[in-house]
Structure 1
């Protein structure tokens, strides 16, 4: 069934790519190529945005774009870690195909030419990249291939910086100033542009006990908010995992699971939990302010009406659920992300739409190419996500998730996720461990149904899906 489904998807992508070469967009426009800005946040989970139902977080600019565009309410990543997910976003491919499984692995020169920025460059676009690139070592960054390169020679930029006069400047503000610089240089030309912006926020500052370092002006924001502990924060939800998940053994040495190690830094008690979540939210509100500045600049240079804004998080983030911090595993908190497309050229009938079908990070590249009227390469495994809105492409019944990073303290896993069920397998543990959830009745993934007679057939079916789909994505 999955093989037939994948072939059908590829046929639709090919047909729609041909349509795209004639300048069609989801709103029916045939005018000149639009400008495109892709915004990526780091570790922003799906519900950390007002438009996704969060009543506490202040994200008015994200919300306005999402509520006046197309909001994908069921968007997920196919690998939940920055280097691999970013490579999937750029290439439109699963990790099994693009091969970026670690922080030091760059794209090959040939693979780089098949990423969406290079394909747009070859079709007349000025291209820029700002912020955290995140694929390969800094010496491998493709800065010379971009018309504007605003990334620092660091894999993980620092939040705390100094400007030319020795004054403190937060990294989100540096990114914001570089966006303005790009728009000043390239936004006034007749030539279309594509700017990819990759914020560090709300990622933690690794190695710093403060973790989520926000600009001082946000200190009072959320100060009086009391955040509710997740329902799955109790110790029983972590002790549920087997011993070699909690204490992996590498070269004969026991080490603590990285997700639990970071939990002990961020969520060990009520006070630390509250401060961590407040600070995490403050970083996201900082990004939202930068988006507001970006929109004002587009208005100022007269490009707001022809500039599409695409937004996504590179992966989700545990805020203590399942006794974990970080990401990496296939639970909802880790894999579900915000995703929307705002096209100011769209008809009123196409605004404020919500799509509940599965959209994936591998869909970003083909969606951007389609909006630009550029053919989607056959090597891309994603789809133009906007075709889900008009039902021009078949709904995904399920999707494959993989995480094979070579870090001993993060056990590898694979999963198959449908709207009804989720199956997760940790094959590399000494005794392979499985999780199976009935998502319709257990959205928080509290009760593992492996071993329950009622679900035995469903578990066995998903085991087969995992094997077949894992082979298909390569």
Structure 2
């Protein structure tokens, strides 16, 4: 090529480049890509059973990835520590007195006129889906795809209602739930749209029936909680009169699968028998063989009372942790898929529980109380565009905030009726000066399962004030700095009078802010009378 030809090509190239640059400058920048949202919620997964929080009981390497590559929230709380109410709060961003779903025994239905965050995301162009445990009387709304368990669901061979059609799936519930989630992600969604996928595990809810592949886990005894033999001497009637003690209220047959091959005791629930009846012959044989081998290791008739309680604790928590093994393994499957599909960088991944859980603390199982282990819930978030790896958030968050957070990231305005606050300002690990200084709680289900009395309260970074009411009128105050396990009520201590008065004022202000009151609680008592009559011969 001669020099003139080279010059012509060079000039042409420069001209085209300049023209291209000019055109680019005059074109609108592409709209920012909306984040995908994956919300993973397990049932009754205690924060102390996630190794990102506490390594004494279990290692959860896959769940921990979300924290290690994102943020761990150390002070996330629920508004009402119970399955159905918590789910309603998360979906609506509102307290239980406004959602209509206040308890598990009578009110499990969200008011039909309430718009949920999935409905708002769907309207904004998101593909939405929910798989796993639903546990509300409402039919799912705002989802392009739903495949939900019936009620509490079953661990083995559960029935799923998929877009209105019911069918039985063969296998273990945690595996099947993730199978459905991955199938929707891979094969069913419109991949031209952002998505919001809610994955709700049944595990590790009572009756803590593990996958057969995890039976050999946790063969060694676990450390005992310091308060396993709490006598409640520092607290009032509510702590004394509950019915959720490992010692007195945990069933040998149903909960601990003791003599699972034998006849069902007259006083035992029949959940375990129903699970066994659903199993195929191989599943059933493996389950019964394992628990028979566990039974053969002990002679409960020769145990002292203390030894018997410790044995029950070990049997309970080991099965509970075995259920979490399956949850963690399936979280790993999800993370692997997202990496392979190139979805990790633009997807907010959330791991949480519908509330906390007692793993022998105060001698208890279950939840319900405003005391620490059930009031606090795990919250881990991974979202590279806004959260640096290893972030630790100390500010007080609530499950009330989840919906507003998702809407904020999606660029959807939060409706005025939502009472939560977006957590996005906390993603940097710093607490804004105007962030909440206290959280409010209200539990309604009494009389009801486990006989935890109705109560409401307030928690600040240092103190917790609780009022138990209905068939009792007692106040409790805890100094969480000096008494982190909430063993000694200091409400009547003269040294705490000013603290008590200040917290009472703050409590009433929060009630006013959220639209709750003692008079409203009285109305609910009258409304709940049919439920209460149902339990009057039990408690």
What TM-score comes out, normalization by structure 2 length?
0.73
Alignment of 1:266-285 (within 5 A): 269-285=309-325
Q: Secondary structure at the match of 1:401?
A: strand
Q: Distance in 1 between matches of 2:211 and 2:36?
A: 30
Q: Does 1:356 align with 2:394?
A: yes
Query: Please, which of 200, 203, 217 is the counterpart of residue 202 of structure 2?
Result: 200
SS of residue in 2 equivalent to 1:37: strand
Q: How does 1:321-470 map to 2 (within 5 A)?
A: 321-346=361-386, 350-390=388-428, 391-392=431-432, 394-408=434-448, 409-430=451-472, 432-470=473-511
- Contact persistence 2:132–2:147 (CA under 8 A): yes
Q: Quickly say closer, same or farther: Cα 1:81–1:263, change in 2 above 3 A.
A: farther
1:405: how far off? 2.4
Please tell me whether the aligned partners of residues 186 and 193 of structure 1 are also in contact (alpha carbons under 8 angstroms). Answer: no
Instruction: Flag as ranges the 4+ runs of structure 1 deviating above 6 A.
Output: 162-167
Aligned equivalents of 2:413, 2:168: Cα separation in 1? 47
Structure 2 equivalent of residue 296 of structure 1: 336
1:104-143 CA deviation, whole Å, 9 max, x = no partner?
A: 43223320xx2111110000011001111122x2xx3126
Equivalent position SS for 1:229? coil
Question: What SS does the aligned partner of 2:504 have?
Answer: helix
Aligned to 1:11: none
Q: Which runs of 5+ in 2 are unaligned?
A: 1-29, 161-166, 257-307, 516-539
> Would the aligned equivalents of 1:244 and 1:429 in 2 still touch at CA under 8 Å?
no
| Aligned counterparts, 1:22-41, within 5 A | 31-41=32-42
Task: Tell me what 1:71 maps to.
Answer: 72
The answer to whether the aligner puts 1:287 opposite 2:324 as a matched pair is no
Question: 2-side partners of 1:125 and 1:358: how far apart?
Answer: 29
Preserved CA contact (<8 Å) 2:81 2:368: yes
In the alignment, is residue 151 of structure 1 matched against residue 153 of structure 2?
Answer: no
Q: Is the 8 A contact 1:387 1:393 kept in 2?
A: no
Matched, 1:231 2:273: no
Distance 1:30 1:461 in 2: 49
- Give the SS at the match of 1:228: coil
Q: 1:380 to 1:306 in 2, by over 3 A?
A: same
Instruction: Tell me, yes or no, if the aligned pair for 1:126 and 1:186 is still in contact at 8 Å.
Output: no
The Cα offsets for residues 422-442 of structure 1, whole Å up to 9 and x where unpaired, read as: 111102233x12221111111
**Larger-Rg structure:** 2
C-alpha distance in 2 between matches for 1:88 and 1:163: 25
1:232 Cα deviation from its structure 2 partner: 1.8
Q: Which moved more, 1:318-327 or 1:394-403?
A: 318-327
Taking a change above 3 Å as real, the CA distance of residues 134 and 163 of structure 1, as seen in their structure-2 partners, is closer
- With over 3 angstroms needed to count, the CA separation of the structure-2 counterparts of 1:43 and 1:162, relative to structure 1, is closer
Deviation for aligned residue 1:78: 1.2
Can you list the C-alpha shifts for 1:383-428, whole angstroms capped at 9, x where unaligned?
1112124445723211111111253423101111011111111022
Distance 1:241 1:58, change over 3 A: same
- Contact 1:388-1:394 at 8 Å conserved across structures: no
Q: Paired residue for 1:184?
A: 186
SS in 2 for 1:52: coil
Q: Give the number of aligned pairs.
A: 419
Give deviations 1:265-297, integer Å, cap 9, x for gaps: 169611110121111111112111111111222
Asked if the contact 2:407/2:413 (under 8 Å) is kept, the reply is yes
Check the 8 A contact 1:163/1:169 in 2, yes or no. Answer: no
SS at match of 1:304: coil
Give the one of 233, 237, 244 matched to 1:259: 244
1:142 corresponds, among 140, 143, 161, to: 140
Three-state SS of the structure 1 residue aligned to 2:244 is helix
Match of 2:116 in 1: 115
User: What secondary structure is seen at the aligned counterpart in 2 of 1:374?
Assistant: coil
